[in-house]
Amino acid sequence: MRTRRTLLAAAFLCLAGGSFYLTGQPNSVKKIADGVWFREGDLKNEGHCNNIIVEMKDYLIIVDANFPNGARKALADARKLSSKPVKYVFDTHHHGDHAYGNPVWTKEGAITLAHAGVVEEMKAREPERWLQSAKDRKDVAELKLATAEPPKETFTKSPHVLTDGARRVEFHHFGWAHTKGDGFLYLPKEKILCTGDAVVNGPFNYTGDANIGNWVHVVQGALKLDVSTVLPGHGAPGGKEVLTGEALFMTELQKAVKTARSQGKKLSDIVTMKGSDPATTSIKLPDSVKNWVGDFLPAQVRDAFVEMEQGKPRGSLKL
């Protein structure tokens, strides 16, 4: 547990402090289309994810619960945009920065919704992560709960569709990439895709719970949709190139690790460790994916190596 937490904390701090990536404007709200807003999370100071606010005829849908204090910020911004109640909050996956705010939203009367894989992940990984997070974060501790609150509603058939005559909203699951429960929210008329962390715009790919070998297939599933705007879990909004870039990054990562293995290299030949955390790697990825390359690379290489060696995702060992 400590390894993952340390890695995440260190990487987020390093990433956010890096000059190579512009994080845009944390806590800003940008209109993407009529009734669709993108709220950029404050990753650097708070570890927050991005939120998306979707207006329906009589209610709002929020993409991702965020951490508890991120949930309150997103709720306050939603209230400024519309007097309609928040009916659904869609957890794109089980990670704390996307789902630990669930109790804040359900207290407001919202229904938390996710792919069934999110509940599966929480069952396997909680309460350890929640308890650790409560030690690290005041907003989690203040909720005084024994564990993470799972989503109240789940779907297994993809897409799960909500429509009210004004707007059609599709919730998709294309398989296990970043986590087993990766969910996407798609607005077909507006051609907007909200991806959670299965697609990020920047060096934010956390592979600790990932199925790296399947990741590219998940993004290929998303690419079958007609998409013009991508709203990622971390990083700035973009176009379809964010999807193709994410897929290419995963392809290049796999290719580089496969090549090293075929040359007889061991994990210790390509990744140095600092304690139990990967520290540096000799693996270099091409410039075409540099937007996605950052301080997570040593851990990504380790996770890809272990997955290939064991024939199953490193994250599945704990499931």
Closest contact distance (angstroms) between CB of 94 and Zn ion is 8
Binding to Zn ion in span 270-309, by CB under 5 A: none
> ∠249-298-258 over CA atoms, to 5°?
60
DSSP code of residue 224: T
Closest contact distance (angstroms) between CB of 219 and Zn ion is 15
Whole-number Å distance between alpha carbons of 140 and 40: 20
- By CB under 5 A, tell whether 95 contacts Zn ion: yes
Whole-number Å distance between alpha carbons of 185 and 81: 20
Nearer to Zn ion, 42 or 197 (CB): 197
Binding to Zn ion in span 196-215, by CB under 5 A: 197
Nearer to Zn ion, 56 or 92 (CB): 92
Whole-number Å distance between alpha carbons of 194 and 36: 11
Nearer to Zn ion, 66 or 260 (CB): 66
Closest contact distance (angstroms) between CB of 298 and Zn ion is 18
With tokens 């849908």, the residue in question is 61
Q: From 87-95, 122-130, 250-258, 288-296, give the range in contact with Zn ion by CB under 5 A.
A: 87-95
Q: From 94-102, 134-142, 255-263, 309-317, give the range in contact with Zn ion by CB under 5 A.
A: 94-102
Q: Does residue 50 contact residue 165 with C-beta atoms inside 8 Å?
A: no
Q: Which residues pair with 33 in a beta bridge?
A: 36
Q: What are phi and psi of 193, to 5 degrees?
A: -125, 125
- By CB under 5 A, tell whether 125 contacts Zn ion: no
Tell which residue, 307, 314, 268, 298, has the closest CA to residue 11: 298
Whole-number Å distance between alpha carbons of 259 and 56: 49
Whole-number Å distance between alpha carbons of 268 and 107: 48
Q: From 57-65, 149-157, 194-202, 289-297, give the range in contact with Zn ion by CB under 5 A.
A: 194-202
Nearer to Zn ion, 197 or 303 (CB): 197
Size of the site for Zn ion (CB under 5 A): 2
Closest contact distance (angstroms) between CB of 204 and Zn ion is 8
Tell which residue, 124, 55, 71, 115, has the closest CA to residue 90: 115
> In sequence order, what are the residues at sequence separation of 6 or more whose Cβ sits closer than 8 angstroms to the Cβ of residue 226?
188, 191
Closest contact distance (angstroms) between CB of 80 and Zn ion is 27
- By CB under 5 A, tell whether 234 contacts Zn ion: no
Q: From 191-199, 253-261, 280-288, 294-302, give the range in contact with Zn ion by CB under 5 A.
A: 191-199
**Paired tokens of 306:** 């272990």
Closest contact distance (angstroms) between CB of 106 and Zn ion is 21
SS3 156: coil
Q: From 90-98, 221-229, 255-263, 277-285, give the range in contact with Zn ion by CB under 5 A.
A: 90-98
Site residues (vs Zn ion, CB under 5 A): 95, 197
